[in-house]
Amino acid sequence: MARKILRINMTELKATYEEMPEKWARWGGRGMTSAITFDEVDPTCHPLGPNNKLVIAPGWVSGSPAAPSSGRTSFGGKSPLTGTIKEANSGGLSSQKLAKMGIGAIILEGTPKNGDWHMIYINKDGVDFLPANDLMGKGMHEVDKILWERFPNKPAVIGIGQAGEMKLSNAGISVNDPENNPGRYAGRGGMGAVLGARGVKAIVVDDKGVNAIEIVDEELFKAGRRKLTDSIQAHDLTKRDGALNSYGTDVLMNIINEAGGLPTRNFSAGQFEGAAKISGEMIAEMVEKRGGGMTGHACHPGCIIQCSNIYPDEDGSIIASPIEYETAFALGANCGIDDLDYVAKMTYECNDIGLDTIESGNTVAIAMEGGLLEFGDKVGALKLFDEVRQGTPMGRIFGQGVEATAKAFGVHRVPTVKGQSMPAYEPRAIKGIGFTYATSTMGADHTSGYTIAPEIAGVGGKVDQLTDKGKADLSLTFQAATAFIDSTGYCLFIAFPILDIPEGWAGMAETVAGVTGMKITGEDVIPLGKEILKMERLFNERAGFNEQDDRLPEFMRYEVLPPHNVVWDTSDEELDKVYAWVHDGSN
Amino acid sequence: MRVEVRVFATLRRYLPELGIGEAKIVAVDPGTTLDQLRESLGIPKTEVKIIMRNHLHADFDDLINDGDRITYIPAVAGG
């Protein structure tokens, strides 16, 4: 059965399965959400208004048998945080279930006439619009629990906490994990507010009794799958008991600190004296010592990397899952907080209320710089989250993220690009990631072009972190490869082994070719990625963005960052090389 | 000469006496390379993906200077 478009109109409360149009048939994941957003969303629309849409898409290989680590779901539309096009993707249960139901994308559009909130239930028999009255005002832990009690077959639950209900610009979209916890977030860019603007509290996806997965060339798919799986299992980073499996992404805390690129106390230093206390090694030590938690946790079925964790309290009860590097940086180092238990408690709050942890931690840091509380005040920081849950005026400002909070508190050191705050790598100390932050179609985002791999980790080559020479090309290559991988349904972390192991790179492309029947090889990864980037870039231009928006914040140009004692001194001309090809016909 | 040595993640097993982030102070002779120091600490070369010296990438064959802050790192990434 060919993949279908499921169009859900919330004005009419009508759901229609449509044939997949030719123009979208070649896309999956991010390629799909960006193509549909490009074709159907007016770039000048208000992100929370009636003309924005939320597009939800599994990847090309999602749901295919034993495709390793392939449970990512893409959520796209126009972002209320950045005003740009956005794709945020998440692990959890939804990707494989949507794919098995034959859904290439859900297009959620319209707004209920009377302001009612709904819960949408999708199964093999159709689509039901159910009242969400009993779910309103509830956090995602409770919502997930209620919906698993109400619906059998352990369905995927896509939903929003109170932040999404309030349509706050930092509201994420939660997807439940295999244990029905809400720690999997399409967090960045406020897509939870876009779901809220459609009057939808939750979407339940029950794939029981249907498997519409089609594989055009089974042999090619299997051959590619073997190469990809072998490379993931062979690489020191992603193999069983390797660094990611043993310590999670927070294994980076000590390393980035050593590299002098760990943003600390609202991006005022590149090292944090408390880094070791909030590191992945410390998470593993706490899990071992306290019992009750785990490392090596899978965020979706079929993941063979298993980099997630469940962080326990002193008595072995669970505080939160997962503690990522980004989470520990934002809620820890960047706030001057070196207490992992408090990082975990704030992570719980983010997961429950439905907030992106990166933007949230950075917003706490802004509030600290603005004098609302002291750096390191973990108790005060934790209380801020309850303000959001309660919807107090302070909470609503906080829930808008870094830029709004900086304005409210008169802070001029604002680490954002296109309205979105920077993740866990200081661009003054690691130049290539600065190119990505500046030029990404998504605002400041590390995942959109992870030059950290060669700049710090020695993965996919090794380059000097402090030079900007060659970084425009490096960033573009990573941005294009990422746009492709974000379209596959694979976790972006497969990039690390396949950057070092060419057979894995080819294998990834072969799995996509095998499933879809498209004639693509490893050689096509970058060109296809660039096609996606071009759609996104053009959408942004039509929304009013230009090169002047591809800049890092002013304070980074004059404020010296220790320990390397460097500023951001890359010229605008150098930054503009990254996307020059969109209009000069060079590609 | 005296240098600070740190190991992280899966390499911590080779210097188990160190707490997370703690440094071992090691006396080395002038002319010692980062690779020779690694060997003397019993860290397998195959497990070292990168070496950092004073917050920047260094090579196995680089000579050690007095007071260097040296970190041996396995394959790591994430984010």
SS3 of A242, please?
coil
Q: For A316-319, which contacts have Cβ atoms below 8 Å and span 24 or more sequence positions?
A: A316/A290, A316/A291, A316/A292, A317/A292, A318/A292, A318/A293, A319/A344, A319/A345, A319/A347, A319/A348
pLDDT value, residue A411: 98
A244 inside 8 A of chain B by CB: yes
The answer to whether residues A351 and A185 touch, using CB atoms and an 8 Å cutoff, is yes
Task: Report the CATH number of the A4-205 domain.
Answer: 3.60.9.10
Contacts of A459 in chain B (CB under 8 A): 49, 75, 77
Contact (CB, 8 A) for A409 and A544: no
Q: Tell me if B77 and A496 make a contact (CB, 8 A cut-off).
A: yes
Q: Are A319 and A312 in contact (CB under 8 A)?
A: yes
| CB-based contact, A236 to chain B, within 8 Å | yes
Residues of A whose CB is below 8 A from B68 = none
Q: Note whether B79 contacts A325, CB cutoff 8 Å.
A: yes
Which residue in B has a C-alpha nearest to residue A247's C-alpha?
B9
- Token digits of residue A92: 């959890």
* Residue ranges, CATH 1.10.599.10, chain A: 427-500+521-584
For the stretch A545-582, pLDDT in tens is 999 999 999 999 999 999 999 999 999 999 999 999 99
Taking an 8 Å cut-off on Cβ atoms, the answer to whether B21 and A279 are in contact is: yes
Residue A171, pLDDT > 90, answer yes
Q: CA of A218: how far to CAs of A4, A100, A495, A513, B68, in Å?
A: 21, 17, 23, 10, 55
Nearest Cβ partner for A243 among B6, B9, B20: B9
B71: nearest Cα among A262, B54, A562, A261: B54
The arithmetic mean of pLDDT across residues A510-524, rounded, is: 96
Provide the pLDDT for residue B78: 81
How many pairs of residues across A and B have Cβ atoms under 8 Å apart?
A: 114
Is the per-residue pLDDT at A587 higher than 60?
no
Position of tokens 């260097």? B68
Mean pLDDT, all residues of chain A: 97
Q: What is the mean pLDDT of residues A470-496?
A: 97
Largest CA distance in chain B: 38
Distance from C-alpha of A393 to C-alpha of A401, rounded to nearest angstrom: 14
Give the residue on B whose Cα is nearest the Cα of A496. B77
| Pairing relationship of beta strands A200-205 and A294-297 according to DSSP bridges | unpaired
A466 touches chain B (CB under 8 A): yes
pLDDT for the residue numbered A14: 98
Q: Work out the pLDDT band at A1, boundaries 50, 70, 90.
A: low
pLDDT in tens, A305-348: 999 999 999 999 999 999 999 999 999 999 999 999 999 999 99
Cβ atoms A188, A172 nearer than 8 A? yes
- At A199, list the tokens: 């009057």
Give how far B55 is from chain A: nearest CA, Å.
Answer: 4
Residues of chain A in contact with residue B75, where contact means CB-CB under 8 angstroms, are: 235-237, 242-243, 457-459, 496
H-helix segments, chain B: 34-41
Mean pLDDT of A437-456: 97
**Cross-chain CB nearest to A424 (options B47, B71, B79):** B79
Q: Average the pLDDT over A506-511 and give the result.
A: 97
Strands A420-421, A416-417: parallel, antiparallel or unpaired by DSSP? antiparallel
| CATH 1.10.569.10 domain residues, chain A | 258-414
Q: How far apart are CA A396 and CA A212, in angstroms?
A: 43
- Say whether residue B14 is in contact with chain A using an 8 A CB cutoff: no
Interchain contact B12–A (C-beta under 8 A):
yes
Which residues are within 8 A (CB) of A469 and not within 5 positions of it... i.e. 6 or more apart?
A: none
The values of phi and psi at residue A179, to 5°, are -95, 10
**pLDDT number for residue A66:** 86
Q: What is the per-residue pLDDT for A584? A: 83
Residues of A in contact with B6 (CB under 8 A): 254, 258
Counting runs of H as helices and runs of E as strands, what totals does chain B give?
A: 1, 5
Topology (CATH level 3) of domain A258-414: 1.10.569
Choose between A66 and B55: higher pLDDT: B55
- Range scoring the smallest mean pLDDT among A140-144, A202-206, A496-500: A496-500
Give the position of tokens 């956005």. A86
Where in chain A is CATH 3.60.9.10?
Answer: 4-205
Please tell me whether the overall predicted TM-score, pTM, comes out greater than 0.90 for this model.
yes
- How many Å apart are CA A486 and CA A447, to the nearest integer? 10
A113 band by pLDDT with thresholds 50, 70 and 90: confident
Q: Tell me, yes or no, if A437 comes closer than 8 A to chain B by beta carbon.
A: no
Cα–Cα distance measured from residue B45 to residue B47, given in angstroms and rounded to the nearest whole number: 5
Whether the CB of A493 is below 8 Å from some CB of chain B: the reply is yes
From B12, B49, B56, residue closest to A281, measured CB to CB: B12
CB contact under 8 A, A246 and B9: yes
- Find the mean pLDDT for residues A56-60: 98
According to CATH, the topology of domain A427-500+521-584 is 1.10.599
